[in-house]
Amino acid sequence: KKKLKISGRELLSVPTQVFGLDQLQVLEMSPERESCLRYRLELLPQDISRLRNLTCLYVDSNNLKKIPAEIGTLSRLERLTLSNNSLSSLPAEMGALQRLHSLHLANNSLTELPAPLCQLRSLTFLDVSDNKIDTIPSSIRHLEKLETLLLLFNSLESLPEDVCLLRNLHTLWLGNNHLRSLPAAFGGLVNLDWGYNYCSCNFEGNPLESPPPEICSRGPEGIRDYFLSLHRI
């Protein structure tokens, strides 16, 4: 077997037989998104390290409180979904997942953007929406390949200037935070889709003052002109 889906509302643990499937590439232990169900898996066993050929691991909508350090041994992992769990931290060993390009962490209990994420140089999709994040470390600049960053429904009061170095960003959702201002170099994110389309660059639900929302809607040129005008005053 190269793909395995384990389903069941009463899922509490990973069957030990799974760890003998050393050719397994895709392991799914989460309910369908449309179902609104939650499974009850509370931890990933350390034996997850035996599945060295895994490329995709889906464990959304469970009750995970901790991810074992052994996750860092899954060197072929490209996609990891951990949304809708009870995670408050991530192991530093996750920084070893250098093939990982898609990481879903929405709706957990994280309070800051974990440092291990900044070591994931291949990451192109990062979703940390609906946590309790109130700060983003400046080391986020190391995510140089990042194309999609979803930060909705957090407690951000500011963005570090280093966010403006993520020149490959195409989609950035900042809605429903506490942002009153944007970094002066924000208009340099020219690869963002600055249209009125919600799924491109979103600021809704922030008390933005500098620049005001009507300036943001004009795109990078409008933001650059706004900050240039402030320097002239």
| CATH class of the domain defined by 110-232 | alpha beta
Q: Residue 45's closest CA among 12, 22, 82, 79?
A: 12
* pTM tops 0.85: yes
d(CA 204, CA 166): 21
Q: Where are the domains of the chain?
A: 110-232
pLDDT by residue (tens digit) across 110-124? 998 888 898 999 999
Mean pLDDT of the chain: 90
pLDDT at 218: 78
Q: Helix, strand, coil proportions of the chain in percent (round to 5)?
A: 25, 15, 60
Complete DSSP assignment for 13-42: S--GGGGG-TT--EEE-S--GGGT------
pLDDT at 66: 93
pLDDT by residue (tens digit) across 8-42? 888 889 989 999 999 999 999 998 876 778 899 99
Written as six digits, the tokens of 230 are 């402030």
Instruction: Tell how far CA 42 is from the center of its chain.
Output: 21
